[in-house]
Structure 1
């Protein structure tokens, strides 16, 4: 089984996909005149908007749900893996992925908002929805929904559980079987509570856990501040092959940096479109900007913090695939342990325990988001039935919980292989879709900026802009006024 998955990954993750991530990001950056830089002020303002309705969640909650799915294994074990096999230069290419990925994320999220729908009393959106209405290719939409359902319900949850189980065993000696059982119980309680409970839990937990982790990273940065110039120099010299030791790893640095950067911030994969579809906004571009900002938080802030901790303390190895170790600072150690060792080297007796707890929260909120995305795909597949089928949702919950338990006991290598296979499969399909939707996405951006320049709070008029299939926006959106707005702001879950 492992050999088969590795063979599939060799096809899916060819160099073509690596350069597609970079190429599409650069294309959209130029096409939008680098909105990820120009409109940074708007991103900050819109991110903390908390207005919502009974059918939707606020921009901040959608941001928290999305960030909760992005901040997890990729930010800690993923960064360590990139350094282990691609050298310090991989960190630079993760930064490039974040900068370019902000524009890609804007496009896919904006299209999600344009073509979202209100189903069963809740806002739903995502790649299948904009493929069906924007491209008018129903079979392609169904294929993407099925692939996402498999990835979110089967392939990715096990990777997060595996990371938690390994960290708990290293820190506290807890057997993976016990950790897996604990995760199944806690997650089961939450996912049976519905999307509103997921949104509320993410809104509370994600900011707190991210802040605590960043504070810990800053402490280590300050302790090792004199090493900053040499570490930054090491990253850049390794990225471009001017460092003699890592000169032969430029290709691996690019590949690993892009791959792990993509897994971390998910720009272009389509996995973050489902959270964004639940957001309550007056204009699609608003949520597009919010999600673009979350790419920065995820990679430029959290991934960078992890990378600097590892590189500052020297707690890493660099092992080219099929070759001898170039750096062997911690002989025999798994990349997943590098961050724990880095913190432990500065704060003995504390690092392993702290990171185990941090990983628990990071990965746990990620799995909560996976369930919501899988559920949204089920709603899409079930949308045209006169009698809605309930059993698929129950099966999804059971399968996901089963994969959580299974993932906690399999090898880390196999868990990562499954995760990479799911990510690559979604990326190929989503890139085709968004590239064909470039023109309408840019039209929405121009409308947003035009209204902003006129001093207005942008409101989307789908009919005026020619979006005939944007059903939600045609006669659906009404700006709340007076007491109605006060009531909406007072609503709680």
Structure 2
């Protein structure tokens, strides 16, 4: 276990710097697209472009949100506060703002280089690595890492959190909870892609809206504490607080790390759902996915963090052991902080509410994992009949869900962190090399918007190669109106000879300069 934690830290520590730096550079290159284009984001979310091959922008948003919104929004925020103090919330917010630019670029790339397989859109990290960079071996490696991550490594984190929270609320054995979650997930994932999308489309808005509503209730009741908590977060983030000033480095590291784990901007998790959307221009889906980072981190993670801080239900660990502060002695960092925060306003409700929230958040994440794993499997087995492979992958995922339910939380979190860090290194390195097509697409989108057009995409005109789906769409061109037969001109009685003589006379005058007088 110690070796696993050490390896994970070795991957994550420099990744924090890379994620912040990449987000900052892309923010500059896109001229802050994640802020400038917020009105477009909201408008595009409710657009209803869809087809038999692709889902609408809203459905793609809920599909990616179902993977982004998970236990990281509750347990992850609590562990960040415990390890890095209140200042970690500030750095989570910074990572969300910068991550919006990263999410825009990676999701736009997913749209540019998407393909059609078996009558549906598919795309994501391996597709844009192969088509954009021309490195099929690297694309294959990325697909293999993503398949292992979302089939074997990541599901345990979500399943374990469900089992722990349900067990605390009801006393139900993890074995029973694991069996129920596995059975429910199996019914959905073996039902095919449309059932997966339908579940995300239905549950995500409901669960996110309900969670934010309860958080607002907690904040309203404790409104007098909010200004002091905001000041505490800001002081702690820059090392100016008397109590938490000495752990500013941990605040940065854990704030960014848990923000990345939650919103996965730069990890590439959102690219698979992004590619499934039916849009007329890739930048449209990039903007929608940039907004999804705000929903995940600025709304949901901040809701959890401020609930915990305004009610004072948290501890902060000291580097050498013990605690810097111990407001809730003996309470382990994680969902219990949020449960105590809700109980402070709604006595007796916190345990059950958080158990329900984690169950919904984590379950929809598992549904999204199945979709992502299936997309990577499709890439690895192209041209091969794969029903047996697909069923085997789903069976392996369900096995890991059950195993994660009864495994130690420390083990499943360390394994999940290791998998996410590995995929993030591959994806971020490729985004650095591949940013240009996304930036060109953004400029094209904005140029068309300035002309009052609904943007469409012609990659060849922009110098973007291997965008096979869009090349075909551009070649087909827009639908033309039905041809109108011209009305025959009436022929004069002289057969047109008079007009011919007049035209010849005008031409002669023009050559002699007479036409200019």
Q: TM-score range by the shorter chain?
A: over 0.9
Q: Deviations over 1:424-448 (max 9, x none)?
A: 1111101111101122211110000
User: Deviations 1:65-109 (Å, cap 9, x if unpaired)?
Assistant: 111111111100000000000100000000000000000000000
Task: Give the equivalent residue in structure 1 for 2:418.
Answer: 421
Rounded to whole Å, the distance in 2 between the matches of 1:279 and 1:480 is 19
Matched, 1:311 2:309: yes
Cα-to-partner distance string for 1:389-445 (whole Å, 9 max, x where unaligned):
222211111111011111111122222111211111111101111101122211110
Mapping of 1:18-97 within 5 angstroms? 18-97=16-95
Show the counterpart of 1:388: 385
Q: Which residue of the other structure, out of 470, 474, 479, is the alignment partner of 2:471?
A: 474
The equivalent of 1:461 in structure 2 is: 458
Q: 2:430 maps to what in 1?
A: 433
Per the normalisation by structure 2, the TM-score is 0.91
Q: Deviations over 1:45-74 (max 9, x none)?
A: 001223211111111000001111111111
Cα-Cα RMSD: 1.4
In 1, distance between residues paired with 2:6 and 2:110?
A: 33
- Contact residue 50 and residue 61 of structure 1 kept, 8 A: no
Which of residues 148, 161, 164 in structure 2 aligns to 1:163? 161
Q: Distance in 1 between matches of 2:9 and 2:294?
A: 29
Aligned-residue offset at 1:481 = 6.5
**Which TM-score applies when normalising by structure 1?**
0.95
User: Paired residues, what number?
Assistant: 479
Task: Give distance in 2, aligned partners of 1:71 and 1:378.
Answer: 23
Give the 3 Å change call, closer, same or farther, for CA 116–328 of structure 1 in structure 2. Answer: same
Q: Which residue of 1 aligns with 2:489?
A: none
Report the counterpart of residue 357 of structure 1 in structure 2: 356
* Higher deviation after alignment, 468-477 or 69-78: 468-477
Decide whether the 8 Å contact of 1:86 with 1:320 is kept in 2.
no
Q: How does 1:174-189 map to 2 (within 5 A)?
A: 174-189=172-187
What are the residue-to-residue correspondences of 1:58-137 with 2, within 5 Å?
A: 58-137=56-135
| Closer, same or farther: CA 480–359 of 1 in aligned 2, 3 Å | farther
CA distance in 2, matches of 1:273, 1:301: 21
Q: Who is 2:373 aligned against? A: 374
Measured in 2, the distance between the counterparts of 1:187 and 1:250 equals 41
Task: Tell me, yes or no, if the aligned pair for 1:179 and 1:408 is still in contact at 8 Å.
Answer: yes
Q: Give the aligned partner of residue 198 of structure 1.
A: 196
2:468 partner SS: coil
CA deviations over 1:354-387 (Å, ceiling 9, x no partner): 111111111110010011001000000111x2x4
Q: Return 49-58 or 199-208, whichever deviates more.
A: 49-58
* Equivalent-residue separation in structure 2 for 1:481 and 1:474 (angstroms): 16
Q: Per the alignment, in what secondary structure is the counterpart of residue 473 of structure 1?
A: helix
SS in 1 for 2:469: coil
Question: 2:10 maps to what in 1?
Answer: 11
Report 1:319-358 matches (<5 A): 319-336=317-334, 337-358=336-357
Conservation of the 8 A alpha-carbon contact between 1:282 and 1:479:
no
258, 261, 271: which one pairs with 2:259? 261
Match of 1:233 in 2: 231
**3-state DSSP of counterpart to 1:244:** coil
- Is the CA contact 1:161–1:180 (under 8 Å) kept in the aligned structure 2? yes
Q: Please say if residues 65 and 275 of structure 1, whose CA atoms lie closer than 8 Å, have aligned partners that are also in contact.
A: yes
Structure with max Cα Rg: 2
C-alpha displacement of 1:290: 0.2
Find the residue that maps to 1:476 and give its secondary structure. Answer: helix
User: Within 2, Cα distance between the matches of 1:159 and 1:87?
Assistant: 23
CA distance in 2, matches of 1:351, 1:214: 14
Secondary structure at 1:326 match in 2: strand
Measure how far apart 1:480 and its partner are: 8.0
Unaligned runs of 5+ in 1: 483-493
**Uncovered stretches (5+) of structure 2, i.e. residues with no partner:** 481-517
1:303-350 deviations in Å (ceiling 9; x for gaps): 010001000111110013433201111112111211111111221111
Counterparts of 1:360 and 1:481, CA distance in 2: 47
